[in-house]
Amino acid sequence: MVEEEAKSLPMELREKGGVENSGFVQNEAVDDRGTNPSTQEEMPKACIVGVDAAATEEPVLKPYAGMPKEVLLKFSSQAQYRVTREILFWLVIATAILLVCAAIAIIALSPKCLDWWQAGPIYRIYPRSFKDSNMDGNGDLKGIQEKLDHITYLNIKTIWITSFCKSPLKDFGYGVEDFYDIDPMFGSMSDFENLVAAIHDRGLKVIIDLIPNHTSDKHQWFQLSRNRTGKYTDYYIWQDCGQAAGSITPPNNWVSVYGDSSWQFDDVRKQCYFHQFGKEQPDLNFHNLAVQQEIHDIIKFWLGKGIDGFSFSAVKYLLEAKHLRDEPLVNKSQNPENITAYSQLYHDYTTTQVGMHDIIRSFRHTMNQFSSEPGRYRFMGSDGDEKEDMEATMMYYGTTFVQEADFPFNFNLINMKNLSGNSIFEAVNLWMKNMPAGKWPNWAVGSPNAARLSSRIGKEYVNVMNMLLLTLPGTPVTYYGEEIGMENIASESVTFPEKSPMQWDDKVNAGFTEGNSSWLPVNPDYQSVNVEIQMTWSNSTLNLYRELTSLRNNELPIHRGWMCYIWNDSNIFVYVRELDGLDRVFLMVLNFGQESTIDLKAVVPNLPPIATIRLSTNFSNAGKAVSTDQIKTQMGEGLILEYKTAKPVHTMKAFQTNCFVAEKACYSSAFNLLYATC
């Protein structure tokens, strides 16, 4: 009986030699006995039962899914799991450190990315002549918005709109009546805001003109100044004029850009005011700090409207010498009384005065306050306009430590007196050899202030000039209509033939306006020279322009590589574009004269014997092979040749003085990325 009871007890209780109640009241008598000492002796002793020792050992547990924390902790302390865990931990740490170091190395070694104003061409629009949206014969802001698809078709990234502020339109709007308003001819402020939004929606940028040197004589500031009202009294440059026999004697011999004295008597104030340009455009007094602050406020206003930058015009005229001395004569023997032309004086006291660059740098500082957002850098251009003094023009770039303009606009290719391979080389080399190290060049072949390209050099050279423009290093600037080869209006009655309306199609008024007439007559050649028809011609000026912008955007050597001059003579200009680490080289052979054949293999012995035509002004030549020892070009023909080499020209000692690079970069084919240290 006792043995049966022992067998019925759990093994653990049998080993303890007693009975244990685990909270279940199974036998009250047992509990009573447990409280009475006299009954303990009567309890039977534990029976020792023969049990296999192995059967009494706890079973070996293994990790399993869903194990409780207590079991997990038991296993985590075991050596095999602890060591594995520590190895994985340190591998993760090492990997993270390696990735951080790699990221730092890539950032440190990567070249500066090209900014938006460097990455593509700038398209310059004279708004009155681009597109009329309301049938009044004048182009306007809505018209520009209607034609944004044309801009994107050209692979253009930036639009430059010339002056459109409220103005009496003397000198085409460069004498502003209200810096804070749109001239009604071009639309409203709401139209401008919609245009900016539409431009940005297409991923494009927009810059506008700002002419701080002067205002219109209709400006409120001038009206207050001529009446000596408060702070506006000295907003302009006023001087007493001599009076004799009913005539006015100016304070000195200073002459305006347009000729005759730059002093004009004002009947209201009874003094003379100074004007560098027309008498309707009085110069502001930039020695007055309040005037400078007014310009800073104007800059902030338009940047607040969302524009991406400014082109500052006429900035070299901002300051004049306070001493008012006569400017020296170019011809010392000339009678001073006969001085009437601007070119007859050296303008030592009315241009590029000490402090002028400080004012421009202060404009840059204000613009930088709006450049803190990623991708919203605000561009600043200026018109150095120092045709004879390239060193003075380069000062607008600023210095290594003091930022000024991103670049002064370069008009060397416009100001050439004759066209040849040599003159093109001289115009290009003049800028590149004078440009400060690390700065970015720019090029233009047309402007609202010069005869159109076709009329200036001949229509047979338009395509090769566009090829030059879009393959040189730096930012190309295209004046509207140059992409289709528009010409000046051939009429003596038209005062400004280079500003004729844009030719969109072969309909009445070239698609510029649906009104009865346009503010200037349309060029009679519009039926064959227009956007619509040239889109259908494979070999048109328009399609060549588009192919060139596409090539420029997609090929690194042309986008930001080295440029090395190889050859120039009276007919041709030859240069290469190449990039460190990339074995593909682009060779430009551009003809600006007569038919020519050149042996470039003799000039550069390391050239391969054969090169392939990547693009030609004659589309049918694309893809053909050319022997580099006999490259033939017709008058006005341009070739972009492509070849591979392990010995780029810029590494050859004989050509190193002929090579230039801005924003240097090197290509790694292994990682397909650019790095800075070659």
Neighbours of 417 (CB within 10 A): 5
Question: What sign results for the dihedral spanned by CA atoms 177, 179, 183, 189?
Answer: negative
- Model confidence over 509-539: pLDDT tens digits? 999 999 999 999 999 999 999 999 999 999 9
**Cα–Cα distance for residue pair 95/88, rounded to 1 Å:** 10
pLDDT of residue 462: 98
pLDDT of residue 349: 97
Residue 478 has pLDDT above 80, yes or no: yes
**Cα–Cα distance for residue pair 450/417, rounded to 1 Å:** 12
pLDDT of residue 21: 45
Kindly provide the b/e burial profile for residues 322-348, where b requires at least 16 CB atoms within 10 angstroms of the residue's own CB.
eeeeebeeeeeeeeeeebeebebbebe
Band of the pLDDT at 596, cuts 50, 70, 90?
A: very high
- Overall average pLDDT of the 305-321 stretch: 97
- Overall average pLDDT of the 420-428 stretch: 97
- Overall average pLDDT of the 375-379 stretch: 90
- Overall average pLDDT of the 311-327 stretch: 96
C-alpha angle 564-565-570 in degrees, rounded to nearest 5: 165
Give the DSSP H/E element, type plus range, for residue 160: strand 158-161
**Cα–Cα distance for residue pair 115/118, rounded to 1 Å:** 5
Ordered alpha helix ranges (H), 437-581: 453-457, 462-471, 531-534, 541-554, 556-560
Band of the pLDDT at 22, cuts 50, 70, 90?
A: very low
Band of the pLDDT at 59, cuts 50, 70, 90?
A: low
Better-predicted residue by pLDDT, 172 or 517:
517
Q: Are 202 and 148 in contact (CB under 8 A)?
A: yes
Tokens of residue 111, six digits: 């070249």
Average predicted confidence (pLDDT) for the chain? 89
pLDDT of residue 246: 74
**Cα–Cα distance for residue pair 548/557, rounded to 1 Å:** 14
- Model confidence over 147-165: pLDDT tens digits? 999 999 999 999 999 999 9
Eight-class DSSP state of 436: P
Ordered alpha helix ranges (H), 585-643: 600-603
**Cα–Cα distance for residue pair 650/578, rounded to 1 Å:** 8
CA trace torsion 476, 480, 482, 485 (10° rounding): 170
Ordered alpha helix ranges (H), 377-473: 390-394, 421-434, 453-457, 462-471
**Cα–Cα distance for residue pair 664/272, rounded to 1 Å:** 53
Band of the pLDDT at 62, cuts 50, 70, 90?
A: confident
Band of the pLDDT at 375, cuts 50, 70, 90?
A: confident
Q: Are 359 and 339 in contact (CB under 8 A)?
A: no
| Beta-strand relationship, 673-675 and 666-668 | antiparallel
pLDDT of residue 170: 72
Burial grade of 449 (CB within 10 A; 0-12, 13-18, 19 or more): middle
Residue 659 has pLDDT above 70, yes or no: yes
Rg, C-alpha atoms of the chain: 41
Eight-class DSSP state of 135: S
Q: 158 forms bridges with which residues in the sheet?
A: 122, 205
pLDDT of residue 25: 42
- Overall average pLDDT of the 651-668 stretch: 88
- Model confidence over 623-642: pLDDT tens digits? 999 999 999 999 999 999 99
Band of the pLDDT at 490, cuts 50, 70, 90?
A: confident
Q: What separation in angstroms does the CA of 660 have from each of 434, 472, 640?
A: 11, 11, 19
Q: Which of 572, 569, 563, 537 is nearest to 648 (CA)?
A: 563
**Cα–Cα distance for residue pair 555/17, rounded to 1 Å:** 94
pTM of the model: 0.85
Residue 20 has pLDDT above 50, yes or no: no
Instruction: Give a three-class secondary structure readout of 75-134.
Output: HHCCHHHHHHHHHHHHHHHHHHHHHHHHHHHHHHHCCCCCCHHHHCCEEEECHHHCCCCC
Output phi, psi for 204, to 5 deg.
-100, 170
**39-48, 326-335, 402-411: least confident range:** 39-48
Q: 397 forms bridges with which residues in the sheet?
A: none
Residue 8 has pLDDT above 70, yes or no: no
**Residue tagged 């015009």 (tokens):** 313
Q: Work out the percent of the chain whose per-residue pLDDT is above 70.
A: 90
CB hemisphere CA count around 11 (13 angstroms) = 9
pLDDT of residue 54: 52
Q: Which of 448, 446, 444, 447 is nearest to 496 (CA)?
A: 448
Band of the pLDDT at 60, cuts 50, 70, 90?
A: low
**Cα–Cα distance for residue pair 418/571, rounded to 1 Å:** 12
Question: What sign results for the dihedral spanned by CA atoms 660, 665, 669, 673?
Answer: negative
Q: Are 638 and 463 in contact (CB under 8 A)?
A: yes
Residue 675 has pLDDT above 90, yes or no: no
**Total residues found in the chain within this entry:** 678
pLDDT of residue 385: 65
Tokens of residue 324, six digits: 């008012």
Q: Are 320 and 349 in contact (CB under 8 A)?
A: yes
Output phi, psi for 311, to 5 deg.
-110, 115
Better-predicted residue by pLDDT, 103 or 53:
103
Residue 34 has pLDDT above 70, yes or no: no
Band of the pLDDT at 544, cuts 50, 70, 90?
A: very high
Q: What separation in angstroms does the CA of 75 have from each of 61, 64, 88, 136?
A: 10, 11, 17, 88
Band of the pLDDT at 47, cuts 50, 70, 90?
A: very low
Band of the pLDDT at 32, cuts 50, 70, 90?
A: very low
| 3-state secondary structure (DSSP) of residue 266 | strand
- Overall average pLDDT of the 401-422 stretch: 94
- Overall average pLDDT of the 631-656 stretch: 96
pLDDT of residue 11: 45
- Overall average pLDDT of the 62-68 stretch: 76
pLDDT of residue 24: 40
Please name the amino acid found at residue 624: K
| 3-state secondary structure (DSSP) of residue 306 | coil
Band of the pLDDT at 35, cuts 50, 70, 90?
A: very low
**Cα–Cα distance for residue pair 476/122, rounded to 1 Å:** 6
**Cα–Cα distance for residue pair 208/184, rounded to 1 Å:** 17
**39-43, 586-590, 595-599: least confident range:** 39-43
Neighbours of 221 (CB within 10 A): 19
Neighbours of 268 (CB within 10 A): 10
pLDDT of residue 14: 44
Band of the pLDDT at 416, cuts 50, 70, 90?
A: very high
Q: Are 97 and 90 in contact (CB under 8 A)?
A: no
